[in-house]
């Protein structure tokens, strides 16, 4: 079964990440494109690649292989750098044992900076949230620093609407661990086999008030909001929108509004979130 943050290899030997599953199919974006002049060598395919930075979400083409984060964690944990083994030990110390590894290491590239982890299950999420200070102290890490916030913002701001409060969203990364050398690893949280509704509304801008933003920490990002006296669900597969919502936030959202089903979808970078 295909799950969020699985990677697939298409028939042209390009790698894709899955970040949206709908009734109409599986969506995501290409992360590594095969290129004989590329600067990254893949140990699995034996080809060279260039990383792709345009994460526009499209329907994923036919693929010949699936890479599973849980299997990678189980089979290759001993191969990761020692600092990330220590991070895993911190997770195990607080009772978290349902873990996956995704990102470039999952699909056969040598790690150059961080290792990307997935933590599965609502109970494990709560353990992480309640013990995040312990985890950071255990590996001598900090929360995301102002320098890293500015770096990420400058790197990605041109890919998003200038109406989007992207820097504030980035600054809400409470779960990431930043090492003294500036390397940041942010875990992804997954709790279920969620299927996103099909987008069939109209693009519009409205002000909403957040009722519950807990699920904006998860993949995909979700939140409950109040609009005109009704409860709407906000849904976004965009990875940069992690933790965008907190209870009582008032947001101006440009997105796709389905008023019949009370759903707001933000699945394109033209959409925006602004804090009021």
The closest alpha carbon to 234, from 185, 191, 201, 270, belongs to 201
Cβ atoms of 235 and 265 within 8 Å: the answer is: yes
What pLDDT score does 55 carry?
63
The residues spanned by each domain of the chain are 7-66, 70-190, 202-275
Output phi, psi for 236, to 5 deg.
Answer: -145, 130
Output phi, psi for 132, to 5 deg.
Answer: -65, -35
Cβ atoms of 127 and 96 within 8 Å: the answer is: yes
Q: Which residue has the tokens 């796709």?
A: 256
**Beta carbons within 10 angstroms of residue 264's beta carbon:** 25
Question: Tens place of pLDDT for every residue, the chain, 276 residues?
Answer: 899 999 999 999 999 999 999 989 999 999 999 999 999 999 999 999 999 976 678 999 999 999 999 999 999 999 999 999 999 999 999 999 999 999 999 999 998 888 999 999 999 999 999 999 999 999 999 999 999 999 999 999 998 999 999 999 999 999 999 999 999 999 999 998 899 999 999 999 999 999 999 999 999 999 999 999 999 999 999 999 999 999 999 999 999 999 999 999 999 999 999 999
Q: Tell me the C-alpha to C-alpha distance, in Å, between residue 172 and each of 156, 218, 234, 268.
A: 16, 13, 18, 21
Domain 70-190, CATH 3.60.20.10 — does that match? no
C-alpha to C-alpha distance for 3 and 83, rounded to whole angstroms: 27
DSSP conformational letter for 268: S
Indicate the helix (H) or strand (E) that contains 32: strand 25-34
C-alpha to C-alpha distance for 169 and 34, rounded to whole angstroms: 32
CATH number of 202-275: 2.40.50.140
The closest alpha carbon to 68, from 102, 42, 36, belongs to 102
């Amino acid at each position: 079964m295909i799950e969020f943050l699985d990677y697939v290899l298409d028939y042209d030997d390009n790698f894709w990440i899955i970040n949206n599953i709908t009734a109409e199919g599986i969506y995501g974006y290409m992360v590594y494109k095969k290129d004989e002049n590329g600067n990254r060598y893949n140990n699995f395919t034996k080809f060279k690649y260039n990383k792709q930075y345009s994460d526009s979400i499209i329907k994923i083409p036919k693929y010949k292989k699936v890479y599973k984060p849980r299997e990678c964690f189980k089979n290759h944990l001993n191969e990761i750098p020692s600092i990330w083994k220590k991070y895993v030990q911190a997770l195990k110390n607080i009772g978290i044992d349902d873990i996956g590894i995704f990102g470039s290491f999952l699909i056969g590239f040598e790690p150059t900076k961080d290792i990307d982890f997935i933590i599965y299950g609502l109970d494990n999420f709560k353990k992480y949230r309640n013990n995040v200070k312990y985890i950071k102290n255990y590996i001598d890490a900090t929360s995301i620093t102002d320098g890293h916030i500015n770096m990420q913002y400058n790197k990605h701001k041109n890919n998003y609407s200038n109406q989007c409060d992207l820097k504030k969203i980035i600054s809400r990364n409470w779960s990431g661990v930043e090492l003294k050398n500036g390397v940041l690893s942010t875990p992804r949280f997954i709790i279920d086999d969620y299927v996103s509704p099909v987008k069939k509304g109209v693009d519009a801008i409205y002000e909403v008030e957040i009722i519950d933003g807990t699920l904006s920490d998860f993949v995909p990002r979700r939140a409950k909001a109040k609009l005109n006296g009704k409860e709407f669900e906000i849904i976004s597969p965009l990875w940069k929108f992690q933790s965008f919502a907190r209870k009582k936030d008032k947001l101006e959202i440009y997105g796709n509004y389905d008023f019949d089903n009370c759903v707001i979808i933000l699945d394109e970078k033209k959409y925006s979130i602004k804090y009021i």
